């Protein structure tokens, strides 16, 4: 784009629009479309503050090593793109790449552990419910047997009359 390192977003935009008019393949048939694509990519990097910071960091590293080509910014940008694709520019990127495969595994193990804990909690609840039902059934059988013993001296007809007298209050409703 031909802008200085300390330029602002407006200067980048103005330089981009000016260069677009010069390099657009529809307006100038002598220029290859790859030049226009490089121009678009340069603008997308310089207009994004995070990517621009990475590019500035890359240039500072190249200057400190003495391997920067001050005469050709497009060659520097090409090297920057290559290093971005290879992940050589950002230590943070390498750290996150090395952690990212572990995150789904850890999350999956965590979810499985929660599932196992939930399973055992539900099983213990079902056991306590089953035990309560067994106790109630035992109490009902015991009461039935006690009444059977209490009413063993009553004849069958008397037992039926007694049952009818107990049912009659409910039939009135």
Q: Count Cα atoms within 13 angstroms, Cβ side, for 36.
A: 15
% of the chain with per-residue pLDDT over 70: 77
Residues 160 and 111 both lie in one domain? yes
The rounded radius of gyration (Å) of the Cα atoms in the chain is 42
Structure confidence at residue 154 (pLDDT): 77
Residue 2: closest CA among 63, 59, 55, 46: 46
Q: Once rounded to an integer, what is the mean pLDDT over residues 96-116? A: 84
pTM of the model: 0.39
Q: Which of 47, 68, 99 lies at the terminal end of a domain, its last residue?
A: 99
Q: Answer yes or no: is 3 within a domain.
A: no
Q: Answer yes or no: is 25 within a domain.
A: yes
Residue 127 belongs to what domain range?
103-171
pLDDT confidence tier of residue 77, bands split at 50, 70 and 90: low
Cα separation, 168 vs 173, in Å, equals: 9
Q: Which of 84, 99, 114 lies at the terminal end of a domain, its last residue?
A: 99
Residues 13 and 68 both lie in one domain? yes
Q: Answer yes or no: is 2 within a domain.
A: no
Average the pLDDT over each of 14-23, 71-80, 117-126 and give the range with the smallest value: 71-80
Average pLDDT of the residues of the chain? 79
Q: Answer yes or no: is 165 within a domain.
A: yes
CB atoms within 10 A of CB 2: 10
46 CB-contact burial (10 Å; exposed 0-12 / middle 13-18 / buried 19+): buried
Residues 87 and 38 both lie in one domain? yes
Question: How many domains, the chain?
Answer: 2
Residues 90 and 119 both lie in one domain? no
Cα separation, 68 vs 61, in Å, equals: 9
Look at 98 and 35; give whichever has higher pLDDT.
35
Structure confidence at residue 61 (pLDDT): 78
pLDDT tens figures, 32-62: 777 888 888 888 888 888 888 888 888 787 7
Cα separation, 166 vs 164, in Å, equals: 5
Residue 89 has pLDDT above 50, yes or no: no
Cα separation, 91 vs 112, in Å, equals: 33
Q: Answer yes or no: is 51 within a domain.
A: yes
Cα separation, 54 vs 81, in Å, equals: 11
Residues 17 and 48 both lie in one domain? yes
Q: Answer yes or no: is 19 within a domain.
A: yes
């Amino acid at each position: 784009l031909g802008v200085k390192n300390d330029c602002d977003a407006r200067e980048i935009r103005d330089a981009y629009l000016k260069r677009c008019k010069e390099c657009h393949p529809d307006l100038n048939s002598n220029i290859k479309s790859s030049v226009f694509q490089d121009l678009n990519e340069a603008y997308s990097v310089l207009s994004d503050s995070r990517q621009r910071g990475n590019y500035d960091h890359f240039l500072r590293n190249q200057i400190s090593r003495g391997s920067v080509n001050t005469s050709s910014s497009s060659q520097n940008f090409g090297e920057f793109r290559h290093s971005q694709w290879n992940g050589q520019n950002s230590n943070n990127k390498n750290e996150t790449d090395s952690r990212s495969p572990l995150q789904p595994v850890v999350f999956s193990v965590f979810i499985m552990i929660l599932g196992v804990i939930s399973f055992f909690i539900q099983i213990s609840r079902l056991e306590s419910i089953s035990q309560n039902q067994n106790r109630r059934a035992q109490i009902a059988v015991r009461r039935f047997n006690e009444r059977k013993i209490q009413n063993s001296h009553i004849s069958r007809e008397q037992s039926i009359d007694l049952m009818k007298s107990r049912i009659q209050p409910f039939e009135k409703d």
